[in-house]
Amino acid sequence: MRIGVFIVAAQFPGQEPGRVLADAVELIVAAEEAGFDDAWIAEHHFMSYGVCPSATTLAAAAVGRTSRIGLGTAVSVLSTWHPVALAEQAAMLHHLSGGRFTLGVGRGGPWVDLEVFGTGLDRYERGFEESLDVLLGALSGGGSVAADGEFFRFREVAMVPGARLRPVVACTSESTVGLAAARGLRMLLGMHVGDADKAALIAGYAARGGTAKGHVAAGVAYVADSTAAAVRDLKGSMPRWMGPGLAGYVPVDGRLRGSRDVPAYVELLSRIHPVGSAEHCAETLRRTSEVAGIEHFIVMVEGMGEHRRTLENIRRFGAEVLPLLPE
């Protein structure tokens, strides 16, 4: 079983974004020291839910502070990146990290980001497949890339530096599962997905001819002396972040933004993910692995909103939970 941390760079009320980012690097260093396998970094724009607008930049900072732990993006939003520019960033990180970097990409959402960065709603709604294929071409290790499609059209250019990398794709819909399967790419499954839904997505991937192994599942993790105490703590803390944070998802057009019952969502996350005593956390991960066939988990550890307590959570998970899991 492979366990990583999922760094959102969550800004709780009263915190300064620059401090949150500096603390995020410290969390990755602590995760390496605690024995985690990797650290995956989220990308968000214009919101307090996550204050890291470039997961590749934060990963680069972490490369210089670590020596063993894997680093990844969960995810870089392909609808607002030029795929060749993102491939260049990924290739740099591959070489600078000694091969420790994994690129995770996703479609993103119909948010104002599309307006600000000029990529537009069409790139989000119709252009993800083309963007993914240009990215794969740029990371094929072939030395060059060209495009002649609807959204990207350019002459052949050299990829300098070049690298052969296979991205991981965030999958929340059947269409994206199909894309990942057709291209033989691993899936990244979101925090909101329970064990049965994870199993269904993986079965759907296989039914579409997908052959890649090692799919990744994101979740929440918090270790306390008892499961009741852990759940109580998260229910008291996470809504302070999620309430204002989720309000940052502003649609690019006139569509209504779906609202989420934050307390109910926190209750769901606490129930389906490793939140509780060390034994309960380990048993939850083992159960998900058995039901869904997942062996690689990345866990969001920032739920208490205080840097000191997050560091404690990382260290306790490393010392108390990781030894209980199969290697």
Q: Which helix (H) or strand (E) holds 170?
A: strand 168-170
Token pair of 77 as six digits? 């939003």
Q: Splitting the chain (327 residues) into consecutive groups of 10 residues, what average pLDDT does each group show?
A: 98 98 98 98 98 98 98 98 98 98 98 98 98 98 98 98 98 96 98 96 97 97 98 98 96 92 97 98 98 97 98 98 95
Q: Side chain identity at 118, as an amino acid letter?
A: G
Interatomic CA distance for residues 270 and 285, integer angstroms = 13
> What's the pTM?
0.98
Q: Is 304 exposed, middle or buried (CB count within 10 Å of its CB: 0-12, 13-18, 19+)?
A: buried
pLDDT of residue 143: 97
Helices (H) and strands (E) in the chain, counts: 12, 14
pLDDT of residue 130: 98
**Terminal Cα-to-Cα distance of the chain (whole angstroms):** 5
Give the chain's length: 327
CB 50 within 8 A of CB 9: yes
Query: What's the longest Cα–Cα distance across the chain?
Result: 60
pLDDT of residue 32: 99
Q: Is 313 exposed, middle or buried (CB count within 10 Å of its CB: 0-12, 13-18, 19+)?
A: buried
pLDDT of residue 289: 98
3-state class (DSSP) for residue 60: helix
Q: Domain boundaries in the chain?
A: 2-324
CB atoms within 10 A of CB 22: 13
CB 132 within 8 A of CB 124: no
Interatomic CA distance for residues 141 and 99, integer angstroms = 14
CB 215 within 8 A of CB 202: yes
Q: Which helix (H) or strand (E) holds 40?
A: strand 38-41
Interatomic CA distance for residues 54 and 118, integer angstroms = 17
pLDDT of residue 259: 87
Token pair of 217 as six digits? 């599942």
CB 20 within 8 A of CB 9: yes
Q: Mark out the alpha helices in the chain (DSSP H runs).
A: 17-34, 55-63, 83-96, 113-116, 120-125, 128-138, 174-182, 195-207, 227-246, 262-272, 278-292, 307-316
pLDDT of residue 327: 84
pLDDT of residue 141: 97
Token pair of 185 as six digits? 């790419």
CB atoms within 10 A of CB 239: 15
**What letter does residue 229 receive in the DSSP assignment?**
H
Does residue 75 have a cis bond before it (omega within 30 degrees)?
yes
Q: Is 71 exposed, middle or buried (CB count within 10 Å of its CB: 0-12, 13-18, 19+)?
A: buried
Q: Which of 13, 11, 41 is nearest to 25 (CA)?
A: 41
3-state class (DSSP) for residue 148: strand
3-state class (DSSP) for residue 222: strand
- Selected from 3.20.20.30, 2.60.40.10, 3.40.50.1000, 3.60.20.10, the CATH number assigned to the domain covering 2-324 reads 3.20.20.30
